[in-house]
A and B are shown apart, each in its own frame.
Chain A
């Protein structure tokens, strides 16, 4: 743990604790008799309370304290863990989370309701939560005679009588006398035991509290007498006032600035990074040596260094990228709770499983993936899965399955949300799309195209279709988010058997392998993952204007866009123009360009806010020679090509 702000560290830790508690509670809900889980939950609550109060989260600490007290009854076997109790503590956990967030005003009514429910859940006499009244402080009048004797075991427990005497001396003790009367004979003497007693005089100003402070750890087992005591009743009031005085400022704590984003990185990854940097430094010094030689440069040596640096920089890039990677397990964990809640809301019996939790994805992807996945899972629970009765009537198991998996293939991660519900009713989707004018009544659509209709923005707003087809709420938002992450959505669905939605996501967002092309005088980058093939534009097409923008590639008609026209360049055209065919999913489109320059690793720089609205480009990159190349947004180009083919279809029909 680095950094020096314990409060920020606490907040990170507390969120982790809460997630852990939630997981343990959900496990406990499945296995109510599991003592290890009960202990784990208790320990979590306990730590949260302890640390919370340490760092000034007083409301959190006191709320957690009540939960802990109630749960302690379960731990001690005085109450049984029930599904109701787990439910209440889960909602209490949510409260705790809210209490950690200083921007949210605490909802005391909700807290009180939860605590009441909690009391009911653990039944009968709660008691013991009231704090003992503050001890009255007593002031000792005049000089006081103090006599004390420690327990024989005191020293074995780590106490040092000399320290105690030192403290008493600081209080002003005088006439300290040792009492050796109980010293056993030498043959019976155990050196580690304390048999000496002491008497002394203390000044009048020393209170009983002061003395108890000195003996605080040994009070219970020692002999202690104080003579000439006289209580002063006023003191207790003063103490009470003082206590409220110190409590107030901590309540009025100003909300701190949002904590800086942080990523936890395993130490071995940092070691790897250090190794690479070390090698890079060596390569650099070799380069410096070659430069210092002057005169005729040793070309072979220079090339060797250049190759080393190239290798190192690509390794450095990979190791650095990995630093931002996080396992999807944390994200998946959140959905367990969601499914649990949805199952209760809908009254369906749902089994939730995950696979591939250790798959790693860029932190940004994980963060932005949460909302769309909630949408998908919610859809599966709400609309995909049938009620237990319907399922049994259809010959399925009464419990519905929802499964999310993550796998990595090459440069992308595929996250799948699958259910074994009723699937998507194509006819209902078609009917709705026709009613909304999204497709012509007699249009012939591939099955995948029918399913893709669900992602159409206009489609999802129709509430009715959700009941008919089982899908649709906010799916366009899901699609937008995934595309914003440079990913794609694919979907399969078998009626009566379930639906599977696959999110294909790039491993990282910051670097992408690109093909560099030239159009007119400008250089552009096309993400290599989208490039399918490169052809030479037939001379017949090159001459033709806008009349025909379809190319016959091995019997398949592929629409193409003339980038020269799109970018309105008046630079002289290349004699042999090339066509780069890009694709995603089932759609393909050709881009006519002047020249293919080659492949390059490009670091994506976002466009300025002023240019952010441009759909054609997803970003920019800086090339080795310092020029800027815009990165083409393939998804957007495909969409515009689809519009083109749609107009063509209409044209042919007419």
Chain B
């Protein structure tokens, strides 16, 4: 079965890039435009992995990660966040919130695929 991945980002072009990269590698991708939408989608269906931006309107990525970890449906799903900051502070915060891994923007499509393979194991 193909792994399903939820991509949460407020930038449509970035979502598009994520979708193209991941669906090209055989994953099925669902998109969400902000934390609120991401959370409601993750509550509605089980995903094998979530890729999210941190800086988003309505609900930021950190809050969304915390909420997902507290929820029942996707409590231990791998969550990879996308960040432009290479400093450690934000990573620590995100990890404390329950993030699995991260990817520093800009990334090449195959970097994203590698990370997906890594956390999904397939």
Q: What separation, in Å, do the CA atoms of A220 and B91 have in the docked complex?
A: 10
Q: What separation, in Å, do the CA atoms of A43 and B60 have in the docked complex?
A: 11
Q: Assess A10 versus B13: contact at CB under 8 Å? Given A157-B98, A157-B99.
A: yes
Contact present for B57 and A43 (CB under 8 Å): yes
CB distance from A10 to the nearest CB of B (A): 4
Judge whether B64 is part of the interface by a CB distance below 8 angstroms.
Answer: no
Number of cross-chain contacts by CB at 8 Å: 95
Contact for B76 among A43, A132, A158, CB less than 8 A? A158
Q: Assess A158 versus B57: contact at CB under 8 Å? Given A1-B16, A50-B82, A54-B17.
A: no
Q: Assess A47 versus B55: contact at CB under 8 Å? Given A61-B106, A160-B78.
A: yes
Within 8 A of A (CB), among B7-31: 10-14, 16-17, 20
Note all chain B residues with C-beta closer than 8 A to A49.
84
CB distance from A526 to the nearest CB of B (A): 47
Q: Assess A46 versus B13: contact at CB under 8 Å? Given A61-B106, A159-B119, A220-B95.
A: no
How many A residues are at the interface, by size bracket? 35 or more
Most chain B beta carbons < 10 A, residue from A10, A49, A51, A214: A51
Q: What separation, in Å, do the CA atoms of A431 and B102 have in the docked complex?
A: 73
Note all chain B residues with C-beta closer than 8 A to A217.
100-102, 118-119
Q: What separation, in Å, do the CA atoms of A1 and B77 have in the docked complex?
A: 28
Chain A proximity mask over B69-94: 1 for CB below 8 Å, otherwise 0: 10000011111001010100001100
Chain B proximity mask over A519-556: 1 for CB below 8 Å, otherwise 0: 00000000000000000000000000000000000000
Chain B proximity mask over A13-57: 1 for CB below 8 Å, otherwise 0: 100000000000000000000000000000100110111011100
CB distance from A636 to the nearest CB of B (A): 46
Q: What separation, in Å, do the CA atoms of A340 and B31 have in the docked complex?
A: 39
Judge whether A162 is part of the interface by a CB distance below 8 angstroms.
Answer: yes
Q: What separation, in Å, do the CA atoms of A264 and B95 have in the docked complex?
A: 38
Contact present for B13 and A163 (CB under 8 Å): no
Most chain A beta carbons < 10 A, residue from B69, B78, B102: B78
Contact present for A157 and B95 (CB under 8 Å): yes
Q: Assess A54 versus B100: contact at CB under 8 Å? Given A61-B106, A159-B119, A166-B121.
A: no
Judge whether A294 is part of the interface by a CB distance below 8 angstroms.
Answer: no
Contact present for A53 and B100 (CB under 8 Å): no
How many B residues are at the interface, by size bracket? 35 or more
Judge whether A9 is part of the interface by a CB distance below 8 angstroms.
Answer: yes
Note all chain A residues with C-beta closer than 8 A to B101.
159, 216-217
CB distance from A628 to the nearest CB of B (A): 45
Judge whether B120 is part of the interface by a CB distance below 8 angstroms.
Answer: yes
Contact for B120 among A6, A13, A155, A163, CB less than 8 A? A163
CB distance from A256 to the nearest CB of B (A): 15
CB distance from A513 to the nearest CB of B (A): 39
CB distance from B20 to the nearest CB of A (A): 7
Q: What separation, in Å, do the CA atoms of A51 and B9 have in the docked complex?
A: 11
Contact present for B55 and A46 (CB under 8 Å): yes
Contact present for A155 and B76 (CB under 8 Å): yes
CB distance from A156 to the nearest CB of B (A): 6
Contact present for A6 and B119 (CB under 8 Å): no
Contact present for A192 and B17 (CB under 8 Å): no
Within 8 A of B (CB), among A121-160: 131-132, 155-160
Q: What separation, in Å, do the CA atoms of A162 and B99 have in the docked complex?
A: 18
Judge whether A167 is part of the interface by a CB distance below 8 angstroms.
Answer: yes
Chain B proximity mask over A56-72: 1 for CB below 8 Å, otherwise 0: 00000100010000000
Q: Which single residue of chain B is at the shortest CB-CB distance from A154?
A: B100
Note all chain A residues with C-beta closer than 8 A to B57.
43
Within 8 A of A (CB), among B48-71: 53, 55-57, 69
Chain B proximity mask over A218-262: 1 for CB below 8 Å, otherwise 0: 001100000000000000000000000000000000000000000
Contact present for B13 and A6 (CB under 8 Å): yes
Q: Which single residue of chain B is at the shortest CB-CB distance from A54?
A: B106
Contact present for B119 and A158 (CB under 8 Å): yes
Note all chain A residues with C-beta closer than 8 A to B119.
158-160, 163, 217
Note all chain B residues with C-beta closer than 8 A to A156.
69, 75-76, 98
Contact present for A6 and B20 (CB under 8 Å): yes
Contact for B10 among A10, A47, A61, A192, CB less than 8 A? A47
Q: What separation, in Å, do the CA atoms of A4 and B98 have in the docked complex?
A: 33
Q: What separation, in Å, do the CA atoms of A156 and B95 have in the docked complex?
A: 11
Q: What separation, in Å, do the CA atoms of A166 and B119 have in the docked complex?
A: 11
Q: What separation, in Å, do the CA atoms of A160 and B56 have in the docked complex?
A: 28
Contact present for B118 and A167 (CB under 8 Å): yes
CB distance from B38 to the nearest CB of A (A): 15
CB distance from B30 to the nearest CB of A (A): 15
Contact for B100 among A13, A43, A159, CB less than 8 A? A159
Contact for A51 among B13, B76, B98, CB less than 8 A? B13
CB distance from B3 to the nearest CB of A (A): 12
Q: Which single residue of chain A is at the shortest CB-CB distance from B92?
A: A220
Contact present for A50 and B11 (CB under 8 Å): yes
The 21 sampled A-B contact pairs (Cβ below 8 Å) are: A4-B20, A6-B17, A9-B12, A43-B55, A43-B56, A47-B10, A50-B11, A50-B14, A54-B106, A65-B84, A132-B86, A157-B99, A158-B78, A159-B100, A163-B119, A166-B121, A192-B76, A214-B118, A217-B119, A220-B92, A220-B95
Shortest beta-carbon contacts, A-B, top 8 = A217-B101, A53-B106, A158-B100, A158-B78, A163-B121, A10-B13, A50-B105, A9-B13
Known: A47-B10, A163-B119. 15 other contacts (CB 8 A): A1-B16, A9-B16, A50-B82, A54-B105, A132-B86, A156-B75, A157-B76, A157-B99, A158-B76, A158-B78, A158-B79, A162-B121, A163-B121, A217-B100, A217-B119
Interface of A with B (CB < 8 Å)? 1, 4, 6, 9-10, 13, 43, 46-47, 49-51, 53-55, 61, 65, 131-132, 155-160, 162-163, 166-167, 192, 214, 216-217, 220-221
